[in-house]
Homo-oligomer: A and B are copies of this chain.
Amino acid sequence: MGFFTKDIKTMDDLFVHTLRDIYYAENKIAKALPEMIEKASDAKLKQGFKAHLGETENHISRLQEVFRMHGAEIEAIECPAIDGIIEESEEVAGEVDDKAVLDAALIAAAQAVEHYEITRYGSLVAWAKQLGRPDCASVLQKTLDEEKATDKKLTMLAENAVNMRAAV
């Protein structure tokens, strides 16, 4: 980040800056997921987190592909947003003892992460199209679709099973 400078001059700069932001975020998520897998009690939730770790690794590869397609250096820029989201989820998880309540808290935390990714990939897809790069947009769209599908699966898990047990 170039504090006190005006490093982002064009739409292309904004696109690359945001690619680097989400690249940092995806790497941070890949590091946070093993602890969430460990903490989850519900078998389907544990399995869902495991599957999402695999997907996240794939999203990181896709971002590297887009960097290469766009001719931009593969680089991560510190992203205070994902740092805050993950810090908060760890704090809340640390305060919960009951397993079913912890599962509900873990799902909410994972959905906060998903929504951050959905909004960033949504902007990136729109910007790639505007910049005349439908090829980059198409790669990013695949990840966007997967993030949305994961968010829906988490909602179903929460509504059908985990919340029900936690509220008993």
Contact = CB atoms under 8 A, between A and B. Distances in A.
Interface of A: 1-11, 13-14, 17-18, 21, 79-85, 87-88, 91-92, 94-98, 100-101, 104-105, 107-108, 111-112, 114-116, 118-120, 122-123, 126-127, 130-132, 155, 158-159, 163-164, 166-167
A14 B10 CA distance: 43
B101 A91 contact: no
Contact of A14 (B17, B101, B159): B101
Given A84-B83, A119-B114, A130 B163 contact: yes
A131 B167 contact: yes
A112 B105 contact: no
Contacts of A80: 83-85, 87-88, 91
B6 A97 contact: yes
A166 B9 contact: no
22 contacts: A4-B94, A8-B101, A8-B105, A9-B101, A10-B98, A14-B92, A14-B166, A17-B92, A18-B108, A80-B84, A81-B81, A81-B88, A81-B112, A82-B84, A85-B85, A111-B123, A115-B116, A126-B155, A126-B158, A127-B163, A130-B167, A132-B167
B166 A11 contact: yes
